[in-house]
Chains A and B, each alone.
Chain A
Amino acid sequence: QQPVQSPQAVILREGEDAVINCSSSKALYSVHWYRQKHGEAPVFLMILLKGGEQKGHDKISASFNEKKQQSSLYLTASQLSYSGTYFCGTEIGGSQGNLIFGKGTKLSVKP
């Protein structure tokens, strides 16, 4: 049931864009995105609910395609502060309370 994230790691230069994908084999009720910096706790970025709703956070946005059971996180004009590991969390429809995270995508932004 664990969602699959790709890529596992990505290295960017400041100002470059990146896309992180999250897919599930199960029908999804919602998708959650978190960022964890090294040695710190995960921090919430956004939630996407079924219905194709797209939400943004500064220059970070995401989409959710419930038919394909996929979500993508878009990082535009990356900044050094974007470095960290990004986790998508999926809530399987009907299993309220059970948020399953993928293994994470490590993003490194270089100057």
Chain B
Amino acid sequence: DSGVTQTPKHLITATGQRVTLRCSPRSGDLSVYWYQQSLDQGLQFLIQYYNGEERAKGNILERFSAQQFPDLHSELNLSSLELGDSALYFCASSLAGGPTGELFFGEGSRLTVL
């Protein structure tokens, strides 16, 4: 158990819909990272927050947005869903503002868009 909690574990929805994925980092960790994992692309970095502020942005679509709240939990919002958005979405946390240390990954949220 990494200490990172992600909900929901599984989610099935239809194209055009909107979903919210939630992540609670390990106690004391200030950074939250979001990654998308699909079969052929490995782990794609989406976005990172550090202590409530956006720190780094990767290949995150405009239909996706994220935020980190004062209690440090984070939410990833995916809207106007397409079939290609079906993937495993991982949240990871770390203590520091940069990946100079270990990232602790949650178990992921599997999104299926039908």
Seen from chain A, the residues whose Cβ lies within 8 Å of a Cβ on chain B are: 2, 30, 32, 34, 40-44, 47, 87, 89, 91, 95-104
Contact = CB atoms under 8 A, between A and B. Distances in A.
The 5 closest A-B pairs by CB, nearest first: A96-B98, A97-B56, A103-B42, A41-B105, A99-B99
B8 interface: no
Contact of A97 (B48, B107, B108): B48
Given A30-B100, A41-B90, A104 B42 contact: yes
28 contacts: A30-B99, A41-B2, A41-B106, A41-B107, A42-B43, A44-B102, A44-B103, A47-B101, A47-B102, A87-B42, A89-B99, A91-B98, A91-B100, A96-B55, A96-B56, A96-B98, A97-B48, A97-B97, A98-B45, A98-B99, A99-B45, A99-B99, A101-B42, A101-B44, A102-B42, A103-B40, A103-B41, A103-B42
* From A2, A41, A95, A97, residue with most partner B Cβ within 10 Å: A97
Given A102-B42, A103-B40, 9 more contacts: A30-B100, A43-B105, A47-B100, A47-B101, A89-B99, A96-B56, A96-B98, A98-B48, A103-B41
A98 B55 CA distance: 8
A41 B41 contact: no
B47 to A, nearest CB: 10
A82 B103 CA distance: 20
A103 B45 CA distance: 12
A101 to B, nearest CB: 4
Contacts of B16: none
A42 B2 CA distance: 10
